[in-house]
Amino acid sequence: FDTYMKGGLLVNFTLRHPRWFGNRLTVDARLSEYHGIKLATFYYAGMHPDIGIGVETEANRFDVDTYTAGSGGKRVSGSYTLTASHFRVTASTSLGNSVSLGAGAEKKLFLVDPKMSEDIEHRMYLETAGAFVFAKADTLDRYYYPNCGLFADIRARYVSDDLNIRSDSSFRPFEKYTAAIGSALPLPFGMSLQADFRIGRIQGRNIPLSELFYLGGMYTYSTDFTPFPGLNFMELSGRN
Residue 131 clears pLDDT 80, i.e. is over it: yes
The Cα angle at residue 161 between residues 157 and 163, in degrees rounded to 5? 105
Q: Specify the pairing of strand 213-215 against strand 99-117.
A: unpaired
- Cα separations (Å) of 220 from 14, 74, 138, 215? 22, 23, 19, 9
Distance from C-alpha of 111 to C-alpha of 163, rounded to nearest angstrom: 17
Handedness of CA 158, 161, 162, 164 (dihedral sign): positive
Q: Say what percent of the chain tops pLDDT 70.
A: 94
Q: Single out the residue of 113, 186, 116, 179 nearest to residue 148, CA to CA.
A: 186
Average pLDDT (120-140) is 91
Phi, psi of 211, deg, nearest 5 = -110, 0
Distance from C-alpha of 223 to C-alpha of 111, rounded to nearest angstrom: 19
Handedness of CA 216, 10, 133, 104 (dihedral sign): negative
Digit-coded pLDDT (tens) for 25-56: 999 998 888 889 999 998 887 766 678 899 99
For the beta sheet containing 236-238, the strands, ordered from the edge strand earlier in sequence to the opposite edge, are 225-226, 213-215, 236-238
DSSP 142-161: -SSS-SSEEEEEEEEEEEES
Residue 221 clears pLDDT 70, i.e. is over it: no
Residue 208 clears pLDDT 90, i.e. is over it: no
What's the half-sphere exposure (Cβ side, CA atoms, 13 Å) at 224? Answer: 16
Distance from C-alpha of 86 to C-alpha of 55, rounded to nearest angstrom: 11
Average pLDDT (80-104) is 92
Digit-coded pLDDT (tens) for 136-195: 999 999 888 899 999 999 999 999 988 777 777 778 899 999 999 999 999 999 899 999
Average pLDDT (80-109) is 92
* Number of other CB atoms surrounding residue 17 within 10 Å: 9
Of residues 148 and 223, which shows the higher confidence score?
148
Q: What is the pLDDT of residue 182?
A: 94
Q: What is the pLDDT of residue 66?
A: 79
Q: What is the pLDDT of residue 122?
A: 81
* Number of other CB atoms surrounding residue 172 within 10 Å: 11
